[in-house]
């Protein structure tokens, strides 16, 4: 299964991916996580990306495309992968298409998780993550257990100001990726409002429908 999760910041891509990759036994490739690791490690890529990420701006296409193409070429991606947060611009989608075509591979599905803008700020500013396990919590919607509460961290780009910028960038740069995939017939829209478990059921049902369609 080769699939993409797209949606606005805070739509629940990371939350959903954590379970879906287990269901489908595929690696989870989150460009946000890869870039945050590069920043933390102080690599050349991390130094270049940091300034864009802090402000909630997109990291330049050429940097992200090279990072992802290299990653999906690794052996653990031979039988599939889940891309989370990529592609985020039309040039990124075109580059991914070209790389897959060269490799003789094809995408199975692109899942768009839809959440109204009005809900995004609350989700983003209340998010906390566990640096030890990578688990994602929310102070209200998914409260952390007491034993991990002290070690949780808040992302630098999870301020209300950076969130507003990320949302604006989503509408300007990433929304045009939706018609790109709609034309291929691979795009499925999933309502991202509801509990994470409810959203998960909708995604699994949508992927099942895509698989059935492909089999017929
Ligand atoms: P990235 O890390 O990809 O951030 P994002 O797309 O803005 O998405 P988020 O991680 O903020 O949200 P999510 O949808 O994963 O939601 P989550 O599950 O955590 O990218 C960060 C930055 O890196 C970008 O701004 C950019 O600078 C750079 N970058 C990354 N990829 C790039 C690319 N391709 N090109 C250029 N630059 C790139 O959930 C959010 C919160 O809501 C959590 O607290 C969670 O517990 C809660 N929640 C989840 N689901 C529900 C639910 N159903 N109900 C209630 N609460 C929920």
What does the pLDDT look like over 160-208, one tens digit per residue? 999 999 999 999 999 999 999 999 889 999 999 999 999 999 999 999 9
What's the sign of the alpha-carbon dihedral 204, 205, 207, 211? Answer: positive
pTM of the model: 0.93
Q: Which of 166, 169, 186, 202 is catalytic?
A: 166
Confidence of residue 213 (pLDDT cuts 50, 70, 90): confident
**Pocket of ligand 1 from Cβ distances under 6 Å:** 7, 9-15, 31-32, 35, 52-53, 56-59, 64, 85-86, 88, 92, 123-124, 126-127, 136-138, 141-142, 157, 166, 194-196, 199
With a pLDDT cut of 90, the percent of the chain lying above it is 92
Confidence of residue 27 (pLDDT cuts 50, 70, 90): very high
- Going along the chain from its start, the domains and CATH numbers come out as 2-26+79-215 (3.40.50.300)
pLDDT of residue 196: 94
pLDDT of residue 156: 87
Tell me the mean pLDDT in the region 69-84: 95
Confidence of residue 209 (pLDDT cuts 50, 70, 90): confident
Indicate if 2 belongs to the active site.
Answer: no
Indicate if 88 belongs to the active site.
Answer: yes
Q: Are 203 and 16 in contact (CB under 8 A)?
A: yes
Confidence of residue 39 (pLDDT cuts 50, 70, 90): very high
pLDDT exceeds 80 at position 29: yes
Q: Are 125 and 160 in contact (CB under 8 A)?
A: yes
pLDDT exceeds 80 at position 42: yes
State the chain's mean pLDDT as an integer.
94
Tell me the mean pLDDT in the region 58-84: 96
**Whole-angstrom Cα distance, residue 207 to residue 25?**
14
Which tens digit of pLDDT belongs to each residue from 93-130?
999 999 999 999 999 999 999 999 999 999 999 999 99
Confidence of residue 212 (pLDDT cuts 50, 70, 90): confident
pLDDT of residue 210: 84
């Amino acid at each position: 299964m080769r699939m993409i999760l797209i949606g606005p910041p805070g739509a629940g891509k990371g939350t959903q991916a954590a379970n879906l990759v287990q269901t489908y036994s595929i690696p989870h490739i989150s460009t946000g996580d890869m870039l945050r690791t590069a920043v933390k490690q102080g690599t050349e890529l991390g130094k270049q990306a940091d300034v864009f990420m802090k402000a909630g701006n997109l990291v330049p296409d050429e940097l992200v495309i090279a990072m992802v193409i290299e990653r999906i070429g690794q052996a653990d991606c031979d039988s599939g992968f889940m891309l989370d947060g990529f592609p985020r611009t039309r040039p990124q989608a075109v580059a991914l298409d070209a790389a897959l075509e060269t490799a003789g591979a094809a995408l199975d599905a692109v899942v768009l998780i839809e959440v109204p803008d009005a809900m995004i700020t609350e989700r983003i500013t209340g998010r906390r993550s566990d640096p030890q396990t990578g688990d994602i919590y929310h102070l209200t919607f998914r409260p952390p257990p007491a034993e991990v509460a002290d070690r949780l961290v808040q992302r630098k780009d999870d301020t209300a100001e950076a969130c507003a910028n990320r949302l604006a960038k989503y509408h300007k740069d990433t929304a045009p990726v939706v018609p790109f995939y709609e034309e291929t017939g691979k795009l499925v829209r999933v309502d991202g409002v509801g509990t994470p478990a409810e959203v998960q059921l909708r995604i699994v049902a949508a992927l099942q429908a895509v698989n059935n369609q492909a089999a017929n």
